Amino acid sequence: QPESQLSVDLLPFGDQQQLLLARDVSHISRLEQIRRDFVANVSHELRTPLTVIHGYLELLDPEDVPELAPVLTEMRSQSRRMGQIVEDLLTLSRLETQHEVTDERVPMAALLAIVHKEALALSQGRHQIALESTAGMDLLGSPRDLHSALSNLVSNAVRYTPKGGSITIRWQRTPEGAVYSVSDTGFGIPAAHLARLTERFYRVSSSRSRESGGTGLGLSIVKHVLNLHQARLQIDSKPGVGSTFVCHFGRARLLPPDHA
């Protein structure tokens, strides 16, 4: 029998009194658990058949049947995309059930160099991509999860910035700790969408996002990874001008670099 869960609120009541409101929310958290398990199970079950389909598609040689070559290219690209969605769903399921992260040293100079390189590869010379790293600090947390959060923001900047635009990746100290930010001169996001951007599969323009090759889960993953590191995501954007995604990390997550 699962434990009962209560939601407790203290409300002002008259001048001198307060009202304690306790609600039984066990059924809501049980439903939430069922939803999470279902998504995780479906994703897991889809993994093997997708790997098989993808494997066979890779084996087919377009030169054997030239008239089917464009079809084969499209099938390969769609099966890769489906595979990416399944992997992202599995990552999200893991992050949703996790309550804390390992406290490992994440060497930022090396990680930023990797993220910068990934951005250059994805952009293929279509953008100017600068790296400004002045914080001189490492992070404490999960290297794998931080890598996926930091590179998700950069790949979004590349995918939502037209050719010729600029992207700047920054890692700087602030009075509260340090910030990692990615600025672009891309399409920007209308204010009405900002609050919902980190919801699963939420998209400002579904056709543009689908064309850009994303899974619709990137910012959701970013938000979960930041929460697990007690960090906060701030989004500033102006349609037609560009966007800046800022991750605020507290001092407790910073470490002086290890020069040994």
**Nearest distance from residue 237's CB to ligand ADP, in Å?**
7
Identified binder of ligand ADP from the candidate list 160, 171, 180, 249, rule CB under 6 A: 160
Total number of residues that touch ligand ADP (CB under 6 A): 22
Looking at beta carbons only, is 43 or 156 nearer to ligand ADP?
Answer: 156
25 Cβ contact partners less than 8 Å away, ≥ 6 residues apart: 5, 6, 7
Identified binder of ligand ADP from the candidate list 95, 129, 149, 204, rule CB under 6 A: 204
Stretch that binds ligand ADP, among 27-35, 57-65, 133-141, 187-195 (CB under 6 A): 187-195
Tell me how far CA of residue 85 lies from CA of 78, 141, 150, 226, in angstroms. Answer: 11, 25, 18, 20
- Residue 31: exposure state from Cβ atoms within 10 A (0-12, 13-18, ≥19): exposed
From CA 103, how far away is CA 184, in angstroms rounded?
Answer: 31
**Nearest distance from residue 100's CB to ligand ADP, in Å?**
24
3-state secondary structure of 11: strand
From CA 41, how far away is CA 233, in angstroms rounded?
Answer: 29
- CA 235-240-242 angle, 5° bins: 35
Residue 226 is a binding residue for ligand ADP (CB under 6 A): no
Looking at beta carbons only, is 140 or 171 nearer to ligand ADP?
Answer: 171
**Nearest distance from residue 3's CB to ligand ADP, in Å?**
33
List helix spans (H) across the chain.
Answer: 26-59, 69-97, 108-123, 143-159, 191-194, 206-212, 218-228
Identified binder of ligand ADP from the candidate list 85, 115, 157, 228, rule CB under 6 A: 157
Looking at beta carbons only, is 55 or 190 nearer to ligand ADP?
Answer: 190
* Greatest extent of the chain over all pairs of C-alpha atoms, in Å: 84
Give the distance from CA 112 to its chain's centroid.
16
Residue 180 is a binding residue for ligand ADP (CB under 6 A): no
Looking at beta carbons only, is 140 or 219 nearer to ligand ADP?
Answer: 219
**Nearest distance from residue 63's CB to ligand ADP, in Å?**
33
List helix spans (H) across 60-68.
Answer: none
Identified binder of ligand ADP from the candidate list 137, 214, 228, 229, rule CB under 6 A: 214
Residue 165 is a binding residue for ligand ADP (CB under 6 A): no
Residues that bind ligand ADP (CB under 6 A): 156-157, 160, 184, 186-189, 197, 202-205, 209, 214-220, 243
